[in-house]
Structure 1
């Protein structure tokens, strides 16, 4: 990470966490973010069990530390606040995944993963789309992998690169994007129809 990225990291992290909290409100209201102009495609089923397990572990840790730290009120209060915040962030991550699906519009494909990734690809840059299940992903130049539950189910090849701006780090061009959607067959058919 560059020095410039480190300077901007606290603000980026704060914006990310505020989006997670806002996603909880959207989830409770049964609303989605940025789906009015297109057709949404969810990706949350691939990670539901993992997040449920992580949330359960956080709750067990909260209860266990509350019992262990009862003789030390200050430590108990600090750890309780941190643990409750951790549980809230896990719920926020799930809520963001539900409320921020991929969106196919008449002009672009918007790929998202919770609040960490929001990549817009103009439809005219999509050369090929295919259903391709992958469970291993090695870093490669010009390739963006967005696995959910350690897998991707769709591969896009682009005619020219688009710029991906990660949560932390430098923007980079990508010409191949692999991601997951809950209904890959329906997604591939819809995108294939849209780019004809």
Structure 2
């Protein structure tokens, strides 16, 4: 239990740091010569809608709650909710997937997930739009890892061998192939294919 709480606290701290990066217009760990791959397109409207609802709720509860102590508690909780939504979206914006200058692939989902695939480990990449009925991250018994954004994935990557990944709450798994979303899947596939051919 303590380990999970530490992991959740770490996610929160990274998300808040991402909010600071977002305000400054910067990205996390995108080196020179690397391709930054955005993946927030399918969820952006939903996140801003959620933010709008959170702000309206904060204002309405502040106006309608007659008890000062209750109002103060609700205000703190609602402001935290607004910050949480903003920082979650900021983490996805400022922590894109990355195709490195050496062909390595780094897949992320905000501050909660980070998978590094070494250069040379990718044996195939293709555009493949899928709409799995899954949560943000799921792995099946065949070793296929899905990173779902807005109910979809758009790129499938085949690997030379299994890579280990860590789920947001610390459980480990192995993947032989990965499906993930990219706003510009053609650019990702082109970059990975170029490195695969030159290897």
**Shorter-chain TM-score tier:** over 0.9
Give unmatched runs, 5+ long, in structure 1.
Answer: 1-5
The one-character-per-residue Cα deviations of 1:7-64 (angstroms, maximum 9, x if unpaired) are 2122111111111111111111111100014221111222110101111111121122
- Within a 5 Å distance, the mapping from 1:53-64 to structure 2 comes to 53-64=49-60
- Equivalent of 1:67, from 63, 66, 71? 63
Give unmatched runs, 5+ long, in structure 2.
Answer: none
Measure the CA separation in 2 of the matches of 1:137 and 1:85. 30
Measure the CA separation in 2 of the matches of 1:131 and 1:147. 15
The one-character-per-residue Cα deviations of 1:84-136 (angstroms, maximum 9, x if unpaired) are 01110111111111111111111410011111111000132212111000111
Give the structure 2 partner of residue 97 of structure 1. 92
CA-CA distance at 1:186 after TM superposition: 1.4
Contact 2:7 2:170 in 1 (8 A): no
Q: With structure 1 as the length reference, what TM-score do the two structures score? A: 0.92
CA-CA distance at 1:190 after TM superposition: 1.0
Deviates more, 1:134-143 or 1:20-29: 134-143
Contact 1:65 1:79 in 2 (8 A): yes
Q: What is the number of residues matched between the two proteins?
A: 190
- Within a 5 Å distance, the mapping from 1:10-159 to structure 2 comes to 10-37=5-32, 38-69=34-65, 71-105=66-100, 106-137=102-133, 139=138, 140-141=140-141, 142-159=143-160
Give the structure 2 partner of residue 3 of structure 1. none
Measure the CA separation in 2 of the matches of 1:19 and 1:129. 30
Contact 1:137 1:145 in 2 (8 A): no
Q: Does 1:9 align with 2:4?
A: yes
Measure the CA separation in 2 of the matches of 1:32 and 1:169. 25
Measure the CA separation in 2 of the matches of 1:143 and 1:93. 25
Measure the CA separation in 1 of the matches of 2:178 and 2:133. 11
Contact 1:136 1:150 in 2 (8 A): yes
Moved over 6 A (4+): none
Measure the CA separation in 2 of the matches of 1:133 and 1:33. 27
